[in-house]
Amino acid sequence: MLDIKFVRENPDLVKENIKKKFQNDKLELVDEVIKLDKKYREFQLEGDNLRMERNSLSKEIGNLMREGKKDEAENTKSKVNEINSKLENIEKETDKYNNKIKEIMMRIPNIIHESVPIGKDDTENVEIQKYGDPVVPNYEIPYHTDIMEKLSGIDLESARRVAGNGFYYLIGDIARLHSAVISYARDFMINKGFTYCVPPFMIRSDVVTGVMSFEEMDAMMYKIEGEDLYLIGTSEHSMIGKFKGQILPKSELPYTMTSYSPCFRKEKGAHGIEERGVYRIHQFEKQEMIVVCEPEDSYEWYDKMWSYTVELFRSLDIPVRTLECCTRRFS
């Protein structure tokens, strides 16, 4: 989330960034949040002034009581009570504006890196490099679930009866292969010096709102009814939450971790559930890389992380390519 001070001082830059992401419906949010911020700071200033006045009057009451001027002290106490009443109303208004500002700021996109290509859809992604050549056989390639079904390795029909579309049973050697690939990815990252971690598979709402917008949260995450808990859509959320509210010693940076988790996603919106296969589904498992480092080192670590991804695939002799994904983002 952007700093409100940055938005206040750079409204044109923030608006231009929104245009580059083709989210023009959010342009009005910039002016709206700046107006709200102005009102918020006015209430905050008024509250600070009243607190200073109250502190001064409280000292005066003590002096008057020591001097035996009880009537004057009582009059001053009445003024303090009036200030307390005003402060109560001001604090309510301050909280109201603060919450509204936070809600809007969660919808304003972060500033894109200068290297990101401007584009309206994935046809405008920029291919950087290819690694390995795909093998194209001289026969029609079966769909992946067709192969799995022939090997008695997947049961989609039973999963639909049990949980609905977007789920599957993995069986036999296919289930073993799935577990083996996860274990291979885990050990690959451990050998790169990353610390293995299995995080909580549920997180509280304040962790969720710290890593994604309300719109994204509603589109992706399942809420546990009656509790302030969400099933994670990726272990990144839980791993980022691990450092929430912490002061990290500079001498211990960077933290490099690789985390395993099941992931649960609604998959609402443009992509939707792929009923035939196992690509966009409600439940799957992932091995992640998470690095916490100093800001000036972040791009270096970004380069390392994608290079590890390429190396992982190439170690399995899988052709891979790297893309610079364009600015347009679909919900």
Q: What architecture is the 175-292 domain classified under in CATH?
A: 2-Layer Sandwich (3.30)
Angle CA(198)–CA(200)–CA(201) in degrees, nearest 5?
Answer: 105
pLDDT at 159: 94
pLDDT at 330: 44
Q: Residue 256 pairs with which residues in a beta bridge?
A: 291
96-121: pLDDT as tens digits:
999 999 989 988 989 998 889 999 88
d(Cα 277, Cα 270) in Å, to the nearest integer? 17
Helix (H/G/I), strand (E/B), else coil: 262: strand
| Token pair 């419906």: residue | 25
CATH 1.10.287.40 in the chain, residues? 4-105
Q: What architecture is the 4-105 domain classified under in CATH?
A: Orthogonal Bundle (1.10)
Which amino acid is present at 192?
Answer: K
297-329: pLDDT as tens digits:
999 999 999 999 999 999 999 999 988 889 875
CATH 3.30.930.10 in the chain, residues? 175-292
Q: Which DSSP category does 311 fall into?
A: H
> Other C-beta atoms within 10 Å of 56: how many?
10
b or e along 143-168 (b: 16 or more beta carbons within 10 Å of the residue's beta carbon)?
eebeebbeeebbbbeebeeeeeebbb
pLDDT at 272: 60
Q: For the chain of 331 residues, list the mean pLDDT of each consecutive stretch of 10.
A: 93 95 94 96 93 89 85 87 92 94 90 90 89 90 93 95 93 97 97 97 86 74 93 92 92 96 81 73 94 94 94 95 80 38
pLDDT at 168: 93
